[in-house]
Structure 1
């Protein structure tokens, strides 16, 4: 009987130990971290050339070009134009004056110091299109040339 009692204690001890092992739980610890970003103001400019084509110096001519400006949503800026030659196309020593305007009636000069066009950012995938209206007044003394050219710089200040 002693042997049976001893066996019962041994079995009970084994079962208890087994129950302790299977019911043990893993410990966990949790924490958090912040995620943040700052969207910087940004603008992109896409330009198209203004080609006046054949020009009759006794009559003058007009032409247009488009500018597409896309700025990050919520930002805004001013689009200005500037020419190192002060609105003069050059071919060697020969020059041909022209003007760039914000309107088809050529009433408001579009320049780099006093007049600009405002762009309100709707997102970089949603550009605002601007039309640049160019005009060459009659210039009867203009010399024949197919190579008059100038480079205009488009700036968005935002």
Structure 2
């Protein structure tokens, strides 16, 4: 009877643990971080002004690019730097500096951005100026849309 119990234990695998084997292997984990940029803009509102004098204003824009990437920020107006109320126009210019000496556009000037990470944006100030335009027509609806482009 003892022989029968021992044979049954071996047959059911209870005593087979002494013969267990293992095998291991490895695999690689890889990733690639692609360059990307995000732009956050704020409106530049000149408000009411005296057309015989002109006015200035500013707005900020934030550009965040992946760490280690670089790029340039350009501005472009579809109306060639003129606001319109549908009938009348009002010329303006955008600058990279508060003294209004360096025009910021997509042809003659741009700003460089070095990516410090998408959580760490670079802030740029856009300085706007409307020169005196004594023949400007009264309207509360002058507007233009400026496109901000980051090339990276």
Same fold? TM cut 0.5: yes
Shift of 1:113: 2.1
SS of equivalent residue, structure 1 residue 24: helix
Q: Give, in angstroms, the shift of residue 25 of structure 1.
A: 2.9
The 10-residue stretch of structure 1 (141-150 or 22-31) with the greater mean CA deviation from structure 2? 22-31
Q: Secondary structure at the match of 2:135?
A: coil
| TM-score normalised by L of structure 2 | 0.90
2:131 aligns with one of 125, 132, 137: 137
The CA distance in 2 between the partners of 1:45 and 1:139, in whole Å, is: 32
Aligned residue runs from structure 1 range 75-90, under 5 A:
75-90=69-84
Structure 1 stretches of 4+ with a deviation exceeding 3 A read none
1:38 aligns with 2:32: yes
- Secondary structure of the residue that 1:78 maps to in structure 2? strand
Aligned partner of 2:87 in structure 1 is 93
Q: Normalising by the residue count of structure 1, what TM-score does the alignment of the two structures yield?
A: 0.86
Q: Determine the C-alpha separation between the residues in 2 that align with 1:54 and 1:62.
A: 11
**Please, which runs of 5 or more residues in structure 1 have no aligned partner?**
1-6
- Secondary structure in structure 2 of the residue aligned to 1:135: strand
Report matched runs for 1:18-37 at 5 Å. Answer: 21=15, 24-37=18-31
Matched, 1:51 2:45: yes
Length, aligned pairs only: 146
Matched, 1:61 2:59: no
Instruction: Describe the SS at the equivalent of 1:73.
Output: coil
Query: What SS is found at the alignment partner of 2:15?
Result: helix
